[in-house]
Amino acid sequence: MSRFTCAAVLLAALSAACSNSPTVTTPTPTTPVYVTDTFAGTLTRNGATTFPFSVSTQGAVTANLTSVGDASLTIGMSLGSWNGTACNILLANDQAKQGVTMVGTASGIGTLCLRVYDVGQVTTPVDYTVTVTHP
């Protein structure tokens, strides 16, 4: 009987150890915190300006041409990735007018860029403002 008792005690101990199943937790995705950058300048004939900005995670990137000194003027606006010296254009609108919005997606942490440029319609310097919302 001694062997039977030892086997029963061992079986009970193993059963108790196996009954404690581990708790599996699923990470809750975090909602990115969005920031808004405002870029402003003066666009000249055949001119262009590039504005780099950093993104902290993946998410939507929205650029809005909020104002142009001459609201009837068409200019160019593009979004891309910044390599430290140039903007690698990924989205472009060569027919941007005041109020136009461009929407892209950042795939992760990095530096993106906004480029504002003349598409052949600027004859005298014109002021502009673009707001960019990004994670």
Taking residues 7-28, what's their average pLDDT?
A: 53
Q: Which residues contact 52 (CB under 8 A, 6 or more apart)?
A: 82, 87, 111, 112, 113
User: pLDDT by residue (tens digit) across 39-96?
Assistant: 999 999 999 999 999 999 999 999 999 999 999 999 999 999 999 999 999 999 999 9
Query: Residue 3 above 50 pLDDT?
Result: no
Block residue for tokens 């909020």: 66
DSSP string, 72-87: T--EEEEEEEE-SS-E
User: What is the pLDDT, as a whole number, of residue 9?
Assistant: 42
Q: Which residues of 4-21 are buried (b: 16+ CB within 10 A; e: fewer)?
A: eeeeeeeeeeeeeeeeee
**Which of 49, 60, 43 lies closest to 113 in space, CA to CA?**
49
User: What is the pLDDT, as a whole number, of residue 38?
Assistant: 98
User: pLDDT by residue (tens digit) across 95-132?
Assistant: 999 999 999 999 999 999 999 999 999 999 999 999 99
Find residue 31's DSSP bridge partners. Answer: none
Task: Quote the CA–CA distance of 51 and 73 in Å, as a whole number.
Answer: 21
Query: Residue 19 above 60 pLDDT?
Result: no
